[in-house]
Structure 1
Amino acid sequence: MSDLIAIIYPSEAKAEEVRQRLFKLQKEYLITISDAVIAVKTEAGPVKLNQFVNTTAVGAVSGSFWGLLIGVLFLNPILGVALGAASGALGGALSDYGIDDAFMKDLSTSLQPGNAALFVLVKNMTADKVLREIQDAGGTVLKTSLDDTKEQKLRDALAKASAEQPPPQTNAA
């Protein structure tokens, strides 16, 4: 079973930094990620999702391959590739992989403009080592499906890091 973790960061850059740290930890076999999406609330108001997997592109590549194969069988590979890519892209655009887009957009409506939420679907992890690697980035827990004890550890570690960060400097005129 997978666990969902959603953490709010002050900027998209900070959320992307943490996502890249998690990918690095995945290469070290400390975490297995099914999906990692950054939701950003724009100044205009709508929520933009920065997906880990572009299902439209994956569908187009897959469709091109199958279209070419079928096109070769029917002696028209160019038409087969074109039709396969188009149908694959359409199928990819209509499919949803990992965390439900509507769910993420609904949760992200409470964000302040410019803030970003990192949604991670975790299959398994070595919690203490992963937490140690991401806690200095700070953040605020938006939602998790972790048990109460693990969620509280996450909240405490992120709150401690946020408290240790110096307040922003202002220039006195």
Structure 2
Amino acid sequence: MSDLIVVGFPDTETADRALTKLASLGKEHLVELEDAVIVVRNAEGKVHIKQSVNLKALGATSGLVTGGLWGALVGLLFLNPLAGFVIGGAAGAGMGALSGSMADYGIDDDFIKNLSETIPKDSSALFVLLRKFQPEKVLQELEQSDFKGKVLRTSLSPEQEAKLQQALSNHAAAAPVATTI
């Protein structure tokens, strides 16, 4: 089962830095991200949503390859594999982009939109869906970073949420975080 964590930040850049930190922790196999979304609300109150997985581009790429191969094979039947590759690739890319735009993966889009309307102007939020993670090591890394975030929503237990909030608030010097979750 995946855990959903939404953290709000007091400025518009910190969510990007936090996601970069989580991605580096993923390279160390301390965390496995299923999905991540950054929401930024600018000074005018306009909400910008940045998806970590671009399904349109992913669908177009896979459609281009698949359509190109099938087009080349069909083109061989008509003694023109290059034209078949071009036509098949274009059709595959178009269909792949269309199917990617209709797909929904990871965190529910309506949930993101509804919660993003509640964050203040000139701030950001990071929505993260974690498949698995090593809590004690991840919390230790977050304590060393200067994110100063606030947990807005989570599917973690109340104890885990308190430990995460403590790590994000950088209160580690005042009260050490326990190493078990």
TM-score category by the smaller chain? 0.7 to 0.9
CA distance in 2, matches of 1:160, 1:16: 18
CA distance in 1, matches of 2:129, 2:100: 20
State the partner residue of 1:157: 167
5 Å-filtered alignment, 1:131-170, equals: 131-135=139-143, 136-161=146-171
CA distance in 2, matches of 1:25, 1:56: 27
State the partner residue of 1:167: none
CA distance in 2, matches of 1:26, 1:137: 18
Which one of the candidate residues 88, 92, 100 is aligned to 2:100? 92
State the partner residue of 1:10: 10
Deviation string, structure 1 residues 16-42 (Cα, Å, up to 9, x no partner): 111111111111111111111101123
Q: Is 1:119 aligned with 2:127?
A: yes
The runs of at least 4 consecutive aligned structure 1 residues that moved more than 3 Å come to 42-46
The answer on whether the counterparts of 2:12 and 2:41 sit within 8 Å (CA) in structure 1 is no
Structure 2 counterpart of 1:104, one-letter code:
I
SS at match of 1:122: strand
CA-CA distance at 1:110 after TM superposition: 0.6
TM-score (norm: length of structure 1): 0.87
CA-CA distance at 1:54 after TM superposition: 0.7
> Size of the alignment, in residue pairs?
163
Deviation string, structure 1 residues 94-130 (Cα, Å, up to 9, x no partner): 1122111111111111111221110111111111211
CA-CA distance at 1:73 after TM superposition: 2.2
State the partner residue of 2:91: 83
The answer on whether the counterparts of 2:142 and 2:167 sit within 8 Å (CA) in structure 1 is no
Q: Is 1:19 aligned with 2:29?
A: no
Over alpha carbons, which structure has the higher Rg? Answer: 2
SS at match of 1:93: helix
CA RMSD of aligned residues (A): 1.8
CA distance in 2, matches of 1:116, 1:69: 43
CA distance in 2, matches of 1:158, 1:28: 20
SS at match of 1:12: coil
Structure 2 counterpart of 1:117, one-letter code:
A
Unmatched tracts of structure 2, length 5 or more: 76-83, 175-181
